[in-house]
Structure 1
Amino acid sequence: MSVSLLALALAGQAAAAAQAPAPASPPAHQSAQARFDAASQAVAEGRCAEAVKMFATMAKSRNPLLAATIDVRNGRCLVDLGQVEDGKAAIARGLPVLAGKGVEFSGDVYEAHMTLARLAERTFDYDEAAKEYRAAADPLKGGARVPALLRLALVTMFDHDGRALAAAEEARTLVLAEPALSKKDLAAVQTVHARVLLNEGRAREAYAELKNSLSKQGGLTSRVSADDIATRSDLAIAALKNNDRDNARLYLAYTGAGRMRDTPFTRAASMDPPACGEGGLVPEDEAIVEFSLERDGHVAGVAPVYTNGDRAKALAFARAVTDWSWRAEDVAKIPALFRYTTRVELRCVRADGAPGVTRPLKDAFEAWLVEKGAPTPKWAEQPAAVALATQRTALAAANTKNDAVAQAQAALALSDNPVLDGQERPALHAIVRTAVASLSPPVAVRTYVEMVAPEKVDEDSESWRTRMRAILARPDVSGDPLSAATLRLLIAQPAYRKGPPADAAVLVAAVSGDPALPPRHPLKIAALLEEANVLAAKGDVAGARAVFDRTGLTAEQCATVGLQPAVQRMSGSASDFPQEAQRLGFEGWVRTSFDITPDGRTIAPRAVIAYPPFIFDEAANGIIRVARFSSTFRPEGALACSGQQQSVLFLLPNR
Structure 2
Amino acid sequence: MRYRSTWLLSAFAPAAAALAQPAPQNTLQQRFDAATAAYDKDDCATALPLLDALAADPHVKPGSLPAVVIAARRGACQVRTGHAEQGESLLLAALAAMRPHADQLPIDIAQAEIMLGTLAASRWDHDGALAHFDAALALQQDGARSVALQRIALLTAFDSDNRSIDAANEGLRLETAKPAPDKIMLAQWHLLLGRTWLNRGQVKTGKAELETALKLAGGLHDHISAFDAGLRQDLAQAALLDNQIEDARRYMAYSGAGHAGSASFGSAADMDSPDCGPETGLEPDDMAIVQLMISESGDVLGSQTLYSTGSYAKAQAFARAAASWRWKPEDAAKMPAFFRSTARVELRCSRGGGGLSPAAPLNEAITAWARQAALALPMNRQTWPAWLAATDAARQSGDKASELVARVAMADMDLRTDADRLASIDRGLVLAQDAALPQALRNQARVLLTWQRERIVQPENRVITRSGRGYPALQTLAEEPAIAADPLARNASLLLALPMRPVAADRANATAVLQRVAGDTGLPPRHPLRQFALLRLANDAASKGRLDEAQRLFADTGLSEEQCALIGPKPALTAINTSAGAFPADAARWGFEGWVRSEYDIQADGRTAALRAVASYPPFVFDKAAQTILGRARYQASYRPENGAACSANRETIRFNIPGNLMVAKEIKKKS
- The TM-score, its normalising length taken from structure 2, stands at 0.87
Structure-1 separation of matches of 2:453 and 2:564: 29
Are the counterparts in 1 of residues 407 and 424 from structure 2 also a CA contact under 8 Å? yes
Are the counterparts in 2 of residues 210 and 235 from structure 1 also a CA contact under 8 Å? yes
Change in 2 beyond 3 A, CA 1:526/1:247: same
Change in 2 beyond 3 A, CA 1:90/1:449: closer
Which residue, 643, 646, 652 being the options, matches 1:640? Answer: 646
Q: Which stretch of the first structure deviates more once superposed, 217-226 or 433-442?
A: 433-442
Structure-1 separation of matches of 2:370 and 2:63: 54
Are 1:129 and 2:140 an aligned pair? no
- State the superposition RMSD in angstroms: 2.6
The corresponding residue for 1:342 is 343
Structure-1 separation of matches of 2:227 and 2:469: 53
Structure-2 separation of matches of 1:274 and 1:529: 29
The corresponding residue for 1:274 is 274
Structure-2 separation of matches of 1:129 and 1:571: 50
Kindly state the Cα deviation for residue 200 of structure 1 after the two structures are TM-superposed.
0.7
Kindly state the Cα deviation for residue 500 of structure 1 after the two structures are TM-superposed.
7.3
Structure-2 separation of matches of 1:88 and 1:620: 45
CA distances 1:588-607 after superposition (whole Å, capped 9, x unpaired): 11101111111110012111
Kindly state the Cα deviation for residue 560 of structure 1 after the two structures are TM-superposed.
7.9
SS in 2 for 1:270: coil
Q: Which stretch of the first structure deviates more once superposed, 574-583 or 553-562?
A: 553-562
Structure-2 separation of matches of 1:314 and 1:497: 47
The corresponding residue for 2:300 is 299
Are 1:594 and 2:594 an aligned pair? no
Letter in 2 for 1:107: I
Letter in 1 for 2:478: L
- Map 1:147-158 to 2 at 5 A: 147-158=147-158
Are 1:287 and 2:283 an aligned pair? no
Change in 2 beyond 3 A, CA 1:427/1:264: closer
Structure-2 separation of matches of 1:116 and 1:453: 46
Which residue, 431, 447, 463 being the options, matches 1:435? Answer: 431
Aligned residues: 623
The corresponding residue for 1:3 is none
Which residue, 528, 537, 544 being the options, matches 1:522? Answer: 528
SS in 1 for 2:269: strand
- The TM-score, its normalising length taken from structure 1, stands at 0.89
Kindly state the Cα deviation for residue 285 of structure 1 after the two structures are TM-superposed.
0.5
Kindly state the Cα deviation for residue 470 of structure 1 after the two structures are TM-superposed.
2.3
Structure-2 separation of matches of 1:165 and 1:252: 26
The corresponding residue for 1:575 is 581
Change in 2 beyond 3 A, CA 1:108/1:507: same
- Structure 2 residue runs without a partner (length 5+): 1-23, 461-465, 662-672
CA distances 1:487-517 after superposition (whole Å, capped 9, x unpaired): 3333445329989723333222212211111
The corresponding residue for 2:402 is 406
Are 1:75 and 2:75 an aligned pair? yes
Are the counterparts in 2 of residues 494 and 500 from structure 1 also a CA contact under 8 Å? no
Are the counterparts in 2 of residues 273 and 321 from structure 1 also a CA contact under 8 Å? yes
- Map 1:501-516 to 2 at 5 A: 501-516=507-522
The corresponding residue for 1:419 is 415
Q: Which stretch of the first structure deviates more once superposed, 304-313 or 493-502?
A: 493-502
Structure-2 separation of matches of 1:117 and 1:609: 30
The structure whose Rg is larger is 1
Kindly state the Cα deviation for residue 184 of structure 1 after the two structures are TM-superposed.
1.8
Are the counterparts in 2 of residues 269 and 418 from structure 1 also a CA contact under 8 Å? no
Point out which structure has higher relative CO (alpha carbons under 8 A, 6+ apart).
2
Letter in 2 for 1:297: G
The corresponding residue for 1:356 is 357
Structure-2 separation of matches of 1:335 and 1:197: 32
Letter in 1 for 2:518: S
Letter in 2 for 1:512: A
Are the counterparts in 2 of residues 492 and 500 from structure 1 also a CA contact under 8 Å? no
Structure-1 separation of matches of 2:448 and 2:395: 22
Structure-1 separation of matches of 2:485 and 2:133: 65
Are the counterparts in 2 of residues 289 and 302 from structure 1 also a CA contact under 8 Å? yes
Structure-1 separation of matches of 2:451 and 2:98: 62
The corresponding residue for 2:547 is 541
Change in 2 beyond 3 A, CA 1:499/1:222: farther
Are the counterparts in 2 of residues 522 and 560 from structure 1 also a CA contact under 8 Å? no
Structure-2 separation of matches of 1:242 and 1:590: 23
Kindly state the Cα deviation for residue 376 of structure 1 after the two structures are TM-superposed.
4.3
Letter in 1 for 2:311: D
Q: Which stretch of the first structure deviates more once superposed, 281-290 or 156-165?
A: 156-165
Letter in 1 for 2:349: C
Are the counterparts in 1 of residues 487 and 523 from structure 2 also a CA contact under 8 Å? yes
Q: Which stretch of the first structure deviates more once superposed, 330-339 or 609-618?
A: 330-339
Letter in 1 for 2:345: V
The corresponding residue for 2:34 is 38
The corresponding residue for 1:166 is 166
Q: Spell out structure 1 runs of 4+ moving beyond 6 A.
A: 496-500
Kindly state the Cα deviation for residue 169 of structure 1 after the two structures are TM-superposed.
2.2
Q: Which stretch of the first structure deviates more once superposed, 223-232 or 495-504?
A: 495-504
Which residue, 622, 625, 633 being the options, matches 1:627? Answer: 633
Kindly state the Cα deviation for residue 276 of structure 1 after the two structures are TM-superposed.
0.9
Are the counterparts in 2 of residues 444 and 480 from structure 1 also a CA contact under 8 Å? no
Q: Which stretch of the first structure deviates more once superposed, 409-418 or 228-237?
A: 409-418
Kindly state the Cα deviation for residue 213 of structure 1 after the two structures are TM-superposed.
1.1
- Map 1:97-112 to 2 at 5 A: 97-102=97-102, 104-112=104-112
- Structure 1 residue runs without a partner (length 5+): 1-27
